[in-house]
Structure 1
Amino acid sequence: MSKRAADNERADRPLKGGERLEAMDVDVDPEMGQFEDEFEDEFESEDEIIEAGVDGRPDAEREAEERAAGAMDVDSGPGTFIVGRMKLEPGQTLTPDPTTYEMLHNLGMPWPCLSFDIVRDGLGDNRKVYPATMYTVAGTQAESSRAGDNSLLVMKFSGLSKMQRDDGDDTDEDDEDDEDSDPIIESKSIPLNSTTNRIRAHQTPSQDPTKPATTLTATMTESSQVYIHDITPHLTSFDTPGTVITPQQNKPISTIRAHKSEGYAVDWSPLFPAGNLLTGDNDGLIYNTKRNDGGGWVTDNRPFQGHTSSVEDIQWSPSEASVFASASADGTVRVWDVRSKSRKPALTMQVSNTDVNVISWSRKTSHLLASGHDDGEWAVWDLRNWKPSAAGGSVAGKPSAIASFNYHKEQITSLEWHPTDDSIMAVAAGDNTVTLWDLAVELDDEESKDTAGVQDVPPQLLFVHYQSMAKEVHWHPQIPGTLMATGEEFSVFRTISV
């Protein structure tokens, strides 16, 4: 999410993540088998198709060269695409290898969406039956000349079927309800009149077991205002025929006007069911908005201050109700306690020499925090090793990460821990990829010899999925191993490897 100008009339100031989506060169690794096609779910093209691991030479010739190079199993030569290292020739395109996916659907929208969130539903946890169903919210990025077309989208995705295989291995018990169906997208649109920079959903459990949870969204827009909507009726309408959404139900239940500049940092506290929201802006200020006992919303007029540049991301602690972390273009991650009267950070760590675009706090192991940076590096930190100095919060120098990777050569735009496995991470980057990582992988001496021919490809890298203009990625909390990512379009996928 590097700084960039959005439009000619706004080119005099930098923005984060808000540029118009443009065509980019595609660098992809066919060994990972993960390439979407512009015609939803159709793996055909009039252009030349490059199959994984095939470079046009006879097999014997290629294998002889691989043996001579000592890299029979892992060729990083000119015949194999390595993501972020090589470019396609004119007229060439890439196709997904269906044997590496359990599910893959690419779904277009009227306008691109920079940000989205997955909404928990009442269909049950640990779901493995196909076709799958999921509910999401997203904000659009319409052309500047048509800003009035921007909206908050409440969506239901259904008919998400499993990949059809020719190997006869589709007989698992969990696949009894699988169908060869096309995906169906149902949506409800709430007018916003401004591009959504980031959106997050929050649910308040119902006191009445016969009624659904109340689902709220916080939408931070290019206008600098933050809108809180109750989208419960919109979600209910998908499964209750004849439901009509009234104009009043499309209006925000609260509008936060404290920010004087736009921002990209939004997070709901998972430990405050009624609603406790943090929002950060390009002026480096963070505001706290809470729902009071009477159901109204109150924004603290004293912001949290400490960052010397824009606040790029915010994450509440998953285990401590008063603690949150923030990431900034000043290269730091700061940890705060909302009970502090000073409104200053308790800890400040310089984790990068470039912008820190995103952070993710592990829900499984709460002392682990990951950060993604503008130079393509991402890292994992053990917060138990972060100690305040006697000077009042800051620590000189960059702390030691317990893991760091510079595989991506473009900015990290999103990263998220697996909801139940603290060794698995999903990362989206500006090189048009979403990568999956297993931090628990350690190679013994023999395995190290086998991978010696692959340069700059860490053994912890599990999978690479092609996502044009990748912006955000999330794990589905109720469908194990399933991810959703956004860019020029949405991808919903599950790999064989996770």
Structure 2
Amino acid sequence: MSKRSADEEKLAGPLKGGDRPDAMEMDDKPNDMGEFEDEFEDEFESEDEIIEAGVDGRPDAEREAEEAAMDVDSGPGTFIVGRTKLDPGQTLSPDPTTYRMLHNLSTPWPCLSFDIVRDGLGDNRSVYPATMYTVSGTQADYSKANDNALLVMKFSGLSKMDGEDGESSDEEDEDEDADPILESKSIPLTSTTNRVRVHQTPSQDPSRPPTTLTATMTESTQVLIHDITPHLASFDTPGTLITPQQSKPVCTIRAHKSEGYAVDWSSRHPAGKLLTGDNDGLIYVTTRTDGGGFVTDTRPFQGHTSSVEDIQWSPVEDSVFASASSDGTVRIWDVRSKSRSPALSMQISATDVNVISWSGKTTHLLASGADDGEWAVWDLRQWKPKPGGGSKPGKADAVASFNYHKEQITSVEWHPTDDSIVAVAAGDNTVTLWDLAVELDDEESKDTAGVQDVPPQLLFVHYQKLAKELHWHPQIPGALVATGEEFSVFRTISV
């Protein structure tokens, strides 16, 4: 594979590409504290022009004066984020009336993979300012590889938009207007992070928090498992010091001979069962023992003819998982198989399949995203083994497919409680929200006749520079966290 060509545009491809980002504007030595940037503070002091979506690129005053002079009521056209080209020096400014919450934050180095940590603050919460916990791995410049770290972070003071949800008390207004706070604990790494995932094991003592583990796939080919329980606890216990021993990996998996980007913990194995896939097309299973250690089965699952780009356990089957590959296939496996070969193999794209998401609500549905910008939904009940077997993958028909994005899909995820809502990130600098329950009737066709090539299922478009990965917050309904050049934490009024 030639996925690390120095000629490739920095950060332009999906996370699998592994290109190192250029250093961001910052002090030479990264520290543990990232910086929140409020989207609506007066932070734009450059000469770059900022325009609103739907505007033709000229300053509002100039455009409005011309329209008044010509006595025209209609604008020059519809601006479509990710499709309409900006002129040099122009950037997009979000419409604050379309968000319930919106905050941006930056870290010392780009964090192009992250995961959200479930907390003890309650489910289905809608109180502002919001608090959430995440873990992310950095991708430092090659010349500063030793600056890499696993960042355990607490975001607090995440206020709602001004005027959202009606009136509130003066005390609530004061709290909601407070600046967001980012706290972080840094675990040193000697290699960049390709992907990181979190797993929690419930404590047998109800008064104690769960054990929180992370699995970090690194460029070094090693997979590192850390126990970040003390790091999370330290945020709420002032004066707590993290010892060097607590920041060391509790396990280092050395089974892979090439680096990888596919990793997933099983939600159905509380102790901890981990899948990891690499660029050689090999998949390994690592299981936590009763004694708290980890054992990796050295017999890999084989079948893909190219790199394994993403992997996910079934949300309902203890032994079943799906994998996506740059060979254009999705394959379904059973860890009980003695042959270590896939039970089902389906060719779903002529390009790399970068990401998959298995619906947790309608568990026969699987979403996928590919290099050609198409994302699709598949009904696994329609996937059948080929008569007589054989190693050649079968062909599958999608339940729904969308080619709205014109660059590679870098992340896709089902809403945790609404089985018709899907979030998608793409290399065209956008995060899009989709409602698969929407159908276009004749009346709606008339209303959208002037907007070409925009599916009616498209709910929302959020601008995210170099969008790479996104996750719904499982305990704050409708809240999304996405990462690229920086983090975005937002909730729209449409979801």
TM-score in terms of structure 1 length: 0.89
Find the counterpart in structure 2 of residue 293 from structure 1.
290
Are 1:267 and 1:277, in contact at CA under 8 Å, matched by a contact in 2? yes
Q: Does 1:471 align with 2:468?
A: yes
How far is the alpha carbon of 1:176 from its aligned partner? 7.5
Equivalent-residue separation in structure 1 for 2:467 and 2:133 (angstroms): 20
Find the counterpart in structure 1 of residue 191 from structure 2.
194
Instruction: Give the secondary structure class of the aligned counterpart of 1:16.
Output: helix
Residues 158 and 393 of structure 1: CA distance in aligned 2, closer, same or farther (over 3 Å) = farther
Residues 347 and 175 of structure 1: CA distance in aligned 2, closer, same or farther (over 3 Å) = farther
Find the counterpart in structure 2 of residue 52 from structure 1.
53
How far is the alpha carbon of 1:421 from its aligned partner? 0.6
How far is the alpha carbon of 1:390 from its aligned partner? 2.2
How do residues 84-163 of structure 1 correspond to structure 2 at under 5 angstroms? 84-163=82-161
Equivalent-residue separation in structure 2 for 1:470 and 1:62 (angstroms): 40
Equivalent-residue separation in structure 1 for 2:70 and 2:324 (angstroms): 47
Equivalent-residue separation in structure 1 for 2:422 and 2:335 (angstroms): 28
Instruction: Give the secondary structure class of the aligned counterpart of 1:240.
Output: coil
Find the counterpart in structure 2 of residue 366 from structure 1.
363
Instruction: Give the secondary structure class of the aligned counterpart of 2:109.
Output: coil
Output the amino acid matched with 1:197. Answer: N
Find the counterpart in structure 1 of residue 342 from structure 2.
345
How far is the alpha carbon of 1:213 from its aligned partner? 0.3
Find the counterpart in structure 1 of residue 252 from structure 2.
255
Output the amino acid matched with 1:16. Answer: K
Output the amino acid matched with 1:49. Answer: I
Equivalent-residue separation in structure 1 for 2:175 and 2:71 (angstroms): 39
How far is the alpha carbon of 1:135 from its aligned partner? 0.3
Are 1:360 and 1:416, in contact at CA under 8 Å, matched by a contact in 2? yes
**Number of paired residues?**
468
Equivalent-residue separation in structure 1 for 2:167 and 2:418 (angstroms): 26
Identical amino acids, percent of aligned pairs = 79
How far is the alpha carbon of 1:92 from its aligned partner? 2.2
Are 1:129 and 1:174, in contact at CA under 8 Å, matched by a contact in 2? no
Equivalent-residue separation in structure 2 for 1:60 and 1:82 (angstroms): 24
Instruction: Give the secondary structure class of the aligned counterpart of 1:248.
Output: helix
RMSD over aligned CA atoms reads 2.5
Are 2:345 and 2:394, in contact at CA under 8 Å, matched by a contact in 1? no
Find the counterpart in structure 1 of residue 33 from structure 2.
none
Residues 168 and 116 of structure 1: CA distance in aligned 2, closer, same or farther (over 3 Å) = closer
How far is the alpha carbon of 1:294 from its aligned partner? 1.7
Find the counterpart in structure 2 of residue 16 from structure 1.
16
How do residues 24-423 of structure 1 correspond to structure 2 at under 5 angstroms? 40-42=39-41, 45-46=44-45, 47-55=48-56, 56-57=63-64, 58=66, 66=74, 79-165=77-163, 169-171=166-168, 178-392=175-389, 397-423=394-420
Pick which of 54-63 and 378-387 moved more.
54-63
Give the 4+ runs in structure 1 shifted more than 6 A: 60-63, 172-177
Are 1:21 and 1:469, in contact at CA under 8 Å, matched by a contact in 2? no
How far is the alpha carbon of 1:83 from its aligned partner? 2.3
Equivalent-residue separation in structure 1 for 2:199 and 2:19 (angstroms): 27
How far is the alpha carbon of 1:391 from its aligned partner? 2.9
Instruction: Give the secondary structure class of the aligned counterpart of 2:444.
Output: helix
Equivalent-residue separation in structure 2 for 1:490 and 1:176 (angstroms): 25
Residues 39 and 235 of structure 1: CA distance in aligned 2, closer, same or farther (over 3 Å) = closer
5+ residue gaps in structure 2? 9-13, 24-35, 57-62
Are 1:473 and 1:485, in contact at CA under 8 Å, matched by a contact in 2? yes
TM-score in terms of structure 2 length: 0.90
Residues 381 and 160 of structure 1: CA distance in aligned 2, closer, same or farther (over 3 Å) = same
Equivalent-residue separation in structure 2 for 1:315 and 1:62 (angstroms): 58
